[in-house]
Structure 1
Amino acid sequence: MSRSVLVTGGASGLGAAVVRAVLQAGHRAYVIDRQDPGAVPWIECDLADTRAAEAATRKAIAGLGGLDAVVTAAGTDVPGRLADVPAETWERVVAVDLLAPAAVIRAALPALTESHGHVVTVASTLGVKAVSDATAYCAAKFGVVGFTRALAAELAGQVGVTLVVPGGMRTRFFDDRAERYKPGPDAVLNDPAHVAAAILFALGQPRGCAVRELVVCAETETSYP
């Protein structure tokens, strides 16, 4: 049965891989992003504006005629020591990575409850293991872990909830960083398509069965466990 799936950050990186996997499985995708994802319907939105994120979610649901799943794949990071990262930049990372997923899911809950749908949040291995020069990202991703676990308890029996914890992936996520914050030449990064496949696996479970948490990373990932 075809499902309607809303993907934040679906124009690039993991989000784009999720969109491809959704389409390949015969489902419909709708994207919220600042960039045009190409071949699927989308709404332009800066997810750091959480009220705009809520409005975009409601508009997407109207365009889809209902909703079966949300995947909050959008993410950003600006690494650096706390004293060196401007407050506005630090707070934007937390807004996009933590507050926006909560806003999108909140707006989607009426439709997801009606369809007995599914939520997939995307944290990070740096949401379970902290490192230096990543206070904003770790704060946000640790927050996503706690938020999702609490949400799963809150929505048990009504909406499926899955926490995905990916390791480093071969995307453009690292492109704009200073060299010292980019993966080294020997770094082994995972293919985002593998993480997307894990997300589709979680979404494909029958009603009554919940995949609560998935850690998906290269087998030599240094930030997990």
Structure 2
Amino acid sequence: MTTSTHPVGTVIVTGGARGLGAATVDAVRRAGGRPLVIDRVAPDSDVEHVIADLADSSAAERAVDELVEIAGGRLDGVFTAAGIDSCGRLDTVPAKDWERVVHVNLLGTAAVVRAALPHLKKTHGRVVTCASTLGIKAVSDATAYCASKFGIVGFSRALAAETAGELGVTMLVPGGMTTSFFDDRDEQYKPPPDAKLNDPADVAETVLFALTQPPGCEVRELVVCSSTEGSWP
């Protein structure tokens, strides 16, 4: 039995300069699609992009508009991979750092999706949001990250209900990956040396799977983690 898939088309990837975002850019390209990137830094690869800070909702919306214009007015998908963290107890993380996590992870996601909606409705396109296993399981010293990712869970589910029949919405719930996400953390907040983390290229293939489902077939939620992931279940 063969599986019918839909062409991936033109896809905006936030945080596409590195990590899971960059891996998804590669996956979209291999599938014959056209990736477009929003990030605070320029990607290493030769990919069309706009530099913007997702903590600034207006800048995020302008970036979407600019990329859609670059793409000739067509948009088939969005993957909101951009995310940051600020580890520590609530009373030790500076308020501005704490709030920036929520601004980038949750409000930045909402701003990008809001700007993309009119274009995605025209193509019956797809949104893949990026939550986390810590959007389902709360842990100490991660109030900002958990708040933002729990927010993505609620946002994604409500968006799916709100846009049912108009576009597809999938929430990705990834576990830890071998990316630079943990590099700037204090040692106590880094994965232990024996931690088993997923390859972002493998997780990117699940994003591509969600983006290429045939019309009317909805993959609403995907949990993708190492078989020994400590934060799942």
* TM-score of the two chains, using structure 1 as the length reference: 0.99
Q: Counterpart of 1:59?
A: 66
User: Does 1:50 pair with 2:57?
Assistant: yes
Q: In 2, Cα distance between the equivalents of 1:212 and 1:146?
A: 13
User: What SS is found at the alignment partner of 2:35?
Assistant: strand
AA in 2 matched with 1:22: V
Structure 1 residue 157 displacement after superposition:
0.3
Structure 2 unpaired stretches of 5+ = 1-6
User: Does 1:142 pair with 2:145?
Assistant: no
1:143-198 Cα distance to aligned partner (Å, 9 max, x none): 00000000000000001000000000000000000000000011110111111000
User: Does 1:76 pair with 2:65?
Assistant: no
Q: Is the 8 A contact 2:175 2:198 kept in 1?
A: yes
Aligned match of 2:39 in 16, 29, 33?
A: 33
Q: Counterpart of 1:24?
A: 30
Q: Is the 8 A contact 2:8 2:208 kept in 1?
A: no
Q: In 2, Cα distance between the equivalents of 1:41 and 1:190?
A: 27
Aligned match of 1:13 in 12, 19, 24?
A: 19
Alignment of 1:107-146 (within 5 A): 107-146=115-154
Q: In 1, Cα distance between the equivalents of 2:123 and 2:69?
A: 14
Alignment of 1:84-123 (within 5 A): 84-123=92-131
Structure 1 residue 28 displacement after superposition:
0.2
Structure 1 residue 2 displacement after superposition:
5.6
1:105-136 Cα distance to aligned partner (Å, 9 max, x none): 00000000000000000000000000000000
Q: In 2, Cα distance between the equivalents of 1:21 and 1:205?
A: 15
User: Does 1:167 pair with 2:184?
Assistant: no
1:19-47 Cα distance to aligned partner (Å, 9 max, x none): 00000101001000011112100001011
User: What SS is found at the alignment partner of 2:128?
Assistant: strand
Q: Counterpart of 2:229?
A: 221
AA in 1 matched with 2:194: D
Instruction: Go from structure 1 to structure 2 and tell me whether the alpha carbon gap of 1:2 and 1:131 turns closer, same or farther (over 3 Å shift).
Output: closer
Taking only the aligned residue pairs, the percentage that are identical comes to: 64
* TM-score of the two chains, using structure 2 as the length reference: 0.95
Q: In 2, Cα distance between the equivalents of 1:180 and 1:222?
A: 16
User: What SS is found at the alignment partner of 2:206?
Assistant: helix
Q: Is the 8 A contact 2:131 2:174 kept in 1?
A: yes
Instruction: Go from structure 1 to structure 2 and tell me whether the alpha carbon gap of 1:2 and 1:221 turns closer, same or farther (over 3 Å shift).
Output: closer
User: What SS is found at the alignment partner of 1:220?
Assistant: coil
**Number of corresponding residues:** 225
